[in-house]
Structure 1
Amino acid sequence: MTTTDVAAHYVRANGIDIHYTEIGAGEPVVLLHGGLVSTNPLWDRTPISFGSFLPSLAERFRVIAPDTRGSGRTIHRGGSVSFSTLADDVAALIGELDLDRPTVCGFSEGGTTATVVGIRHPGSVRAIVNDAGHDLLNPDSHSFPIMRQMLGGAPDATSGDPDAAALFFETSGMGSFFDMMVADQDGAQGTGHWREYLRQAFERTAHWPGYAYDDLRSITVPTLVVFGDRDDFCTAEDGVATFRALPNGELSVVPNTGHAITADVMAVIDRFLDRHAG
């Protein structure tokens, strides 16, 4: 089985047409991509996408991977896109596809969304994987000024600045990543869409989304918190705080790993899915 076996679909859920890809059979697993990327196969060769791991996951599970609202081929018709909205989209997708309490697994921004799904829609999921997305649960996280610098041009920026973001990526040696993001977003939704997408991403990730450690106590399903020990966004201290707040949490810190989906990270996730996904 290869990524060429992936089928693309749309489903009407929570007032929008959600684009998603599907591969495999068995118990359902919903995969949520991180910020600035999508389910577009152009990301498969990068370490910030689940794409290259889809075939192995599909040997055991029915894998459903949506483009989040405003990203890729899922169109958002204006206004801010909060983590609450993204979580409600996922819950609506689960309902419309008649999935029986799937496991929801997300990376980075997707990990935050997966966790918020557990808070807002506790009966809709069987288990949760938060892969490098626990940083935004800390109101004082150092990730917020990083995101303001990255997407707004300064640590105290109050709004997204696409031109400043382009300069940041170019001068930080991430120009090729930026070019891929533009090609992805504009190819899916039209020339210049990347600018609107970055503005939406700034609003969502540059400020505390309103969910903190105490909110995690309502999540009773098995929840894995996994991240690398060299992650620039997710600190070990915040990871432990997240784990301790979860009634049924599991914690894994992967050595010599940054903010990325590596084979070692996937090995941890695979073992968790085998125990809890079906």
Structure 2
Amino acid sequence: MGAPTSNTPAAGLTVTPDDVWLAGDLVREAAGLAARMRAEAGGSIATDTKTSVSDVVTAADKAAEAHVLERLAQERPDDGVLGEEGATSASASGREWVIDPVDGTWNFVAGIPWWCSALALRTVGTTGATDVLLGAVHDPAQGRTFVGGPGVPTTVNGEPLPPLADVDLASSGVATYLHPTFQHGPVGDAWRRAVSGVATIRALGSSSMDSTAVAEGRLGCQFQHSLPDWDRLPGAALVLGLGGAAALVQAGGRTWNITGAPRAVAEVEALLLAQDQ
């Protein structure tokens, strides 16, 4: 079964106004650095392949992560760090920053503006769908910074967003993605069950950016299997900060992340778990 959904903060630790300010500043600076590096490369930045031809990394990813690490070492030296590009440090405070310096690197490289810098703050050792204290996402194409979490109402450039409308799946656009190698077999079967109930799907290429669209009510939810923490936690925090829901569901031999309007999340979960007819 799926993990319980909630809009309460992870237990034991709190978020300060300075944390909120710092999170927003970090993602703005990281995205700005990455964008400048791409521009200075004439819009054509070199890539290295990670797990597949569509999973790539650039010098901008690494430089942006290094910049965030340097700031955190100065301003939150007792907090731990987990970065997509390999950064790790132990926590003395019980808190950990999870960093995605460029989310949507394929889009970033290709000049498609659906990419961002993102991070989340969580309690060390927590792994649940709602175990996050704070998230921040900066969309450089539109110059917008989203910050929020279960105990921090989500804002865009400091302005509060309205609570999330509780829409159903049949009337919702949904952001989702399934790699071509998973189109057949149990994973593909589970995915097809879930998308059978939606109004339309969009594969946009950045989980945290997808969550900003959910947070603004442009999409009802998003879901994907096997998302690492840096891809799922920043966006989940934003959605939870607006009264939305998040769940982790085991289906087709994989863990699926779902975030969005509570009704839509519950319906995707039910479809993923349903048996083939």
| Fold-level similarity (TM above 0.5) | no
Query: Whose helix fraction is larger, Structure 1's or Structure 2's?
Result: 1
Point out which structure has higher relative CO (alpha carbons under 8 A, 6+ apart): 2
TM-score (norm 1): 0.25
Query: Whose strand fraction is larger, Structure 1's or Structure 2's?
Result: 2
TM-score (norm 2): 0.25
